[in-house]
Amino acid sequence: MAALAAPGAGHAHRGRRTPYARRDGTPPGPARPGGEHGEHHGGRTAMTARDGRRASATAGRAEETVDAQGSPATGGPGSSAPEVPGSPAPEGPSSPAPEERHARPDDTVATVVRQWRAVHPDLDTAPMEIIGRINRCAALLQQAEDAPLRRAGLSRPEFDLLGALRRTGHELTPGELARETFSSGAAVTKRLKQLTERGLVERRGDTRDRRVAHVRLTDAGRDLVDGLLPEQLAHERSVLAGLAPHGRDELAALLSELLGRLEGRAGALRL
């Protein structure tokens, strides 16, 4: 029984193993940190390497799965291709070019301008594009608005004389009527004679100067103007209905500026 170890002897060496001699008889080497020998440490190293390769393989399969599902990096199904600086934008629904959006429909003045440019390429036709359209609009408007005047037996100049008397609200001399209607004195005298014969206007002489006559509307002339004017305004309103309100205001301002310049030139020429 003497071979039995004393009590507690086995516990004294727990946690530290006694190194044994190697098989070739060489003394054991120094213990590895943590009390483990090299072969045990090498076993852990081999296991760590295998674990790393297994983890890398798993990560590779996960990346392949993500790429197959469409990641932003690979541009797979359901992904959007990455934007490269300087590259053209992806094609979408085509939109008209600026010149196409603002292109005006062709009109008679545009045709005339194009014809002049063909025979005179060096000719500046820009004024024709504005003045030509103003003249063309005036001609078309007058043509449409003269129809009810003709039915009433009036010409446009005669209606202008009646309108001048109606809107001023008082008598006018033939000279004043000429200035109001941009007509010559001789033309006004002739028209007043015809309107007087029809009972639409009355003439009376000046008490101080018999050479001067005063013209006023009769009740028949007033009723005729009041019946025709609303019809003309209704036609003009329908013509302008296609323009936006701000466009009408801008057009009126531009035409007012142009008319002021023309009237100023006309006044200077008369002087």
Residue pLDDT, tens place only, 42-57 = 444 444 445 555 545 5
Q: Residues 120-154: pLDDT tens digits?
A: 999 999 999 999 999 999 999 999 999 999 999 99
> What is the predicted pLDDT for the residue at 54?
54
Nearest to 231 by CA among 144, 134, 169, 138: 144
107 or 74: whose pLDDT is higher?
107
CA distance linking residue 269 with residue 271, whole number of Å: 5
pLDDT one-digit tens code per residue, 59-89: 555 444 444 444 444 444 444 444 545 444 4
**What is the per-residue pLDDT for 24?**
53
- Report the alpha-carbon distance of residue 226 to residue 228 in Å, rounded: 6
pLDDT of 257 above 60: yes
- In this predicted structure, what is the pLDDT of residue 265? 83
| Vertex 44: Cα angle to 43 and 49 (nearest 5) | 100
Place of tokens 């009590």: 7
Q: Bridge-partner residues for 214, per DSSP?
A: 204
Q: Does pLDDT of 93 surpass 80?
A: no
- The 3-state secondary structure of the chain reads CCCCCCCCHHHHCCCCCCCCCCCCCCCCCCCCHHHCCHHHHHHHHHHHHHHHHHHHHHHHHHHHHHHHHCCCCCCCCCCCCCCCCCCCCCCCCCCCCHHHHCCCCCCHHHHHHHHHHHHCCCCCCHHHHHHHHHHHHHHHHHHHHHHHHHHCCCCHHHHHHHHHHHHHCCCECHHHHHHHHCCCHHHHHHHHHHHHHCCCEEEEECCCCCCCEEEEECHHHHHHHHHHHHHHHHHHHHHHCCCCHHHHHHHHHHHHHHHHHHHHHHHHHHC
pTM for this structure? 0.57
Cα separations in angstroms, 19 against 27, 35, 37, 197, 235: 9, 10, 9, 150, 121
pLDDT greater than 50 at residue 268 = yes
Q: Give the confidence band of 266 by pLDDT, cuts at 50, 70, 90.
A: confident
Instruction: Determine the Cα angle at 149 with ends 145 and 155, to 5°.
Output: 105
Question: What is the per-residue pLDDT across 12-37, written as a single tens digit (0 to 9) for each?
Answer: 444 445 555 555 555 555 554 444 44
The predicted-structure confidence for 213-223, as pLDDT tens digits, reads as follows 999 999 999 99
